[in-house]
Amino acid sequence: MIERRDRFLGLLGARSVIMGILNVTPDSFSDGGKFQSLDAAISQAKKLAADGADIIDVGAESTRPGHTPISEDEELARLEPVLGQLTAGVDAPFSIDTSKARVARRAAELGVSVVNDVWGLQKDPAMADVVAETGAAVVVMHNRDDVDPDLDIIADMRRFFDESLRLADKAGIPRHRVMLDPGIGFGKTRAQNLDALRRLAGLKDFGLPILVGVSRKSLFGELLSASVETRLIGTLAANLTAAAKGASIFRVHDAAEHLAAFKVFDAIERA
């Protein structure tokens, strides 16, 4: 777990880093139900790694708008049959997409290197301590319970991240293991989502890697009148824009296409 964590962290700053999405859920908006079985999950994880994913993000609870929350026990029941087999069978770092400390701890025991918390250590009061105790790295994502169209969304993110980093510091999580995610599509209007991407450089002074997760999101469906399966071009455009503004990690469904796009981007930007 530590070796894979450090392998992943060592890439940050050197080039654009791809986080491949693997949902073992029945109800995720893009691929719900496709990878619940062990064989399907392992096959998809191997494909993501072969296509260029540097880390694979496993989720067992959908976080799409309007999702039905599930209990810790149900989330673990979905994860435990597959997670240990994934980390043993695929030579790649893994992250766990969860906001529950008990799930994060069990995932770390099964070989996961990074906790990807869509509530930025602020939902479960035990989460920061679990991250610190397990030695995992952590992605803290901005989120809101409600949508307020009058907010300056970057100012709200800064307040949120200040609190997340206070919790991380209190628990003893080293700053070099923390990443920030603006949470595109979570608790924001369409205008705020676009504003967050446009003003992403306003988060760079935290001095931490920025992760962006916009893959196949409804934002592109609205802009392009595109179905979930035809949102790749919009996703690539948004991710390349985010890269130009300072993002360095990209959570995506389509690893091969992003690998090609980022090879060109990095060749130009890092020449």
pLDDT at position 258: 98
Q: Give the pLDDT band of residue 224 (cuts 50, 70, 90).
A: confident
CA gap 46, 138 in Å, rounded? 23
Beta strands in 109-150 (DSSP E): 114-117, 137-141
Which token pair is 73? 């026990």
- Tell me how far apart the alpha carbons of residues 49 and 145 are, in angstroms, rounded to a whole number: 34
* pLDDT given at position 29: 43
The answer to whether residue 56 is domain-embedded is no
Decide the pairing of beta strands 178-181 and 17-23.
Answer: unpaired
Q: Where are the beta strands (DSSP E) in 24-76?
A: 55-59
Residue 261 lies in a domain: no
State what percent of residues in the chain have pLDDT above 70.
Answer: 95
Which amino acid makes up residue 179?
A: M
Among the listed residues 111, 109, 135, the one whose alpha carbon sits nearest the alpha carbon of residue 9: 135
Q: How confident is the model at residue 1 (pLDDT cuts 50, 70, 90)?
A: confident
CATH code assigned at 198: 3.20.20.20
Flag whether 269 is in a domain.
no
115 bridge partner residues: 96, 138
Domain that holds residue 147: 2-15+70-252
Tell me the pLDDT tens digit for each residue of 43-77: 999 999 999 999 999 999 987 666 678 999 999 99
CA distances from 264 to 6, 260, 267 (A): 26, 7, 5
26 has a pLDDT exceeding 80:
no
- Residue 28: inside a domain: no
Residues noted as catalytic: 217, 251
183, part of any domain: yes
Q: Is residue 189 part of a domain?
A: yes
Averaged pLDDT for residues 106-130: 98
Q: Would you say residue 155 lies in a domain? A: yes
pLDDT tops 70 at residue 33 = no
Q: How many domains does the chain have?
A: 1
pLDDT in tens, 185-212: 999 999 999 999 999 999 999 999 999 9
Q: Which helix (H) or strand (E) holds 64?
A: none
Provide the pLDDT for residue 221.
79
Q: What is the pLDDT of residue 72?
A: 95
Predicted confidence at residue 129, as pLDDT, reads: 98
Stated as kind and residue range, the H or E segment containing 259 is helix 255-269
Query: Residue 211 falls within a domain, yes or no?
Result: yes
